[in-house]
Amino acid sequence: MKRTFILATALAAIVGLGAVPASANSIKIQQYGWANAAGGAQAGWKNKIGVYQKGWKNEAVAHQNGWKNTSAIGQDGHKNSATTIQNGGWNAAGIGQFGGHHNAIVVQDGYGNVAAGVQVGNGCNGAVTQSGSGNVAAFVQTCP
């Protein structure tokens, strides 16, 4: 009885250690101000989402479906909105923002696409949509 219990426990530990890390997705969220909101979803494996948000009333949403996609976001000021949507594999998104009242969205469907962002001042709007493979985009703005 005791030997069976030990063998079963050891087998469960080995199976558990081998299965979890191979398919793990990761999310890291930090929010320092007030009334910030962050959300999203991940389906697949080895996807990574960052987010940050320092000011107040910022909104960040990240959706990933596939494998080895990376999304960052950022923000710093107030009343900024950022969304990343990724379907496929090996896609990388960014965003940034800093001032206030910015809106940014990045949509990627395919494989190996790269998008960036930034925005800086106040009241900028930026959008990138990529379909297919190997696309690269960047947007930099300094709106008044």
pLDDT tens, 55-95?
Answer: 999 999 999 999 999 999 999 999 999 999 999 999 999 99
How does DSSP classify residue 137?
A: -
| Alpha-carbon span 72 to 49, nearest angstrom | 6
Q: Is the pLDDT of residue 3 over 80?
A: no
Query: Helices in the chain by DSSP H: which ranges?
Result: 2-19
Model confidence pTM above 0.85: no
Closest CA to 60 of 50, 70, 47: 50
The confidence score (pLDDT) of residue 144 equals: 77
Two tokens, residue 59: 């909104």
Between 77 and 11, residue with greater pLDDT: 77
